[in-house]
Structure 1
């Protein structure tokens, strides 16, 4: 729990700023179709291997599709039978994810949300397992790009979740120490990233794939969604 004042907030993107079910379940179906080259039976098997029920769309907390980066998802799909190389499938998935920003559904009015935090003096960043291009496109589309001091994707050179590198990069970019930072995310990769970096607060939200039960151990607070954040801060 924070012992010094929180001055910076590092957000996950999918399931945190964006409603996971509305934004990503349709993308996961398309991802499986691409990886299976249209073979419906294989596509179902690939979804199951990724942690998603092909009938209900439910995604298991902390599963590959819930928490993996593009390379990890591609490797998992290839391991489960997708007829591609990991490199080729990673390229296809990165393209799909960048286009998917056009169909994403935000949890709240993100421009107003980030403007409010910016006005209170917080340093703000996004650290996602998606690629950096997709993050920046999402921020531009929803009008909060001008409030960001930092953006990190799996391909930005800071390492991947749950390693601490994305948090340490945020600190380097903003001049903050880890204990001045709150990490906000919807799965344990986010919470463990924050804990491993020594952040002041780890804050879980339930707008993604995690549950109160799955997130309890590694989070200092568990919120319904980011609209409850200011009350905690």
Structure 2
């Protein structure tokens, strides 16, 4: 088996804990958008978010979908908003969402770099808020590659972002690990010919991820030991 040379991370639910980051933020965002609690609950239902319980459904479009998917679900209930304006609103609001790191990211990513690994991010979020979140965590400079759904490579579960990362770092897909919290991440990884690791800091449960993954961990903190074991 080829030595691992690169690690490509999903963002939400992988580098950052999904529920801690997004569930409280979603409630306040929907309140601002709808102006009242009843409207917020109605909008939340369109994207698989229980406003009263402050919880996303496991099949919510917001989990693995793009801002375009979320905008499409909300638009019929936002009179006066165009598709482009809705996406712009989602992106600008998302850029300000406080991120809860799955593990302390600076030492974690620095350790991977010291092992000689090249690092990337492939998210179905837009690129601008993704960069804002990584910058806020002071880890933007740790990554050789950052792509969102709007970066020109498509979105997962298609393989465009993944293969673009392989090209940027100049290595074969089989020497890269795709790390993510959803089946979109792992389906894309498998299709691209990469090794796949699932993490449980999103909303998908272990039994959903295991059939698609080489390993499933509680969080990304277990990754360095697993990589070291693959290379021995």
Q: TM-score, normalised by structure 1?
A: 0.91
2:186 is matched with 191
Secondary structure class of the residue paired with 1:217: helix
- The alignment of Structure 1 onto Structure 2 pairs a total of residues equal to 226
CA contact (8 A) 1:212 1:222 kept: yes
2:57 is equivalent to residue 60 of structure 1: yes
1:82 is matched with 78
Query: Which segments of 5 or more consecutive residues in structure 1 lack a partner in the other structure?
Result: none
Give the drift of 1:156: 0.8
Secondary structure class of the residue paired with 1:207: coil
* Structure 2 residue corresponding to 1:91, chosen from 88, 113, 124: 88
CA contact (8 A) 2:103 2:219 kept: no
Give the drift of 1:60: 2.5
2:200 is equivalent to residue 206 of structure 1: yes
Secondary structure class of the residue paired with 1:91: helix
Secondary structure class of the residue paired with 2:55: coil
How far apart are the structure 2 equivalents of 1:168 and 1:30? 37
1:131 is matched with 126
Q: TM-score, normalised by structure 2?
A: 0.91
RMSD in angstroms over aligned alpha carbons? 1.5
For residues 15 and 223 of structure 1, do their structure 2 counterparts lie closer, same or farther at Cα, with a shift above 3 Å needed?
A: same
Secondary structure class of the residue paired with 1:9: strand
2:212 is matched with 218
For residues 229 and 62 of structure 1, do their structure 2 counterparts lie closer, same or farther at Cα, with a shift above 3 Å needed?
A: farther
* Structure 1 residue corresponding to 2:157, chosen from 158, 162, 173: 162
How far apart are the structure 1 equivalents of 2:181 and 2:118? 20
How far apart are the structure 1 equivalents of 2:219 and 2:29? 26
Give the drift of 1:143: 2.2
Secondary structure class of the residue paired with 1:157: coil
How far apart are the structure 1 equivalents of 2:69 and 2:32? 16
Secondary structure class of the residue paired with 1:184: strand
| CA distances 1:59-108 after superposition (whole Å, capped 9, x unpaired) | 223420111111111111124x23222221101001001122xx211111
Give the drift of 1:109: 1.3
1:147 is matched with 142
How far apart are the structure 2 equivalents of 1:136 and 1:174? 19
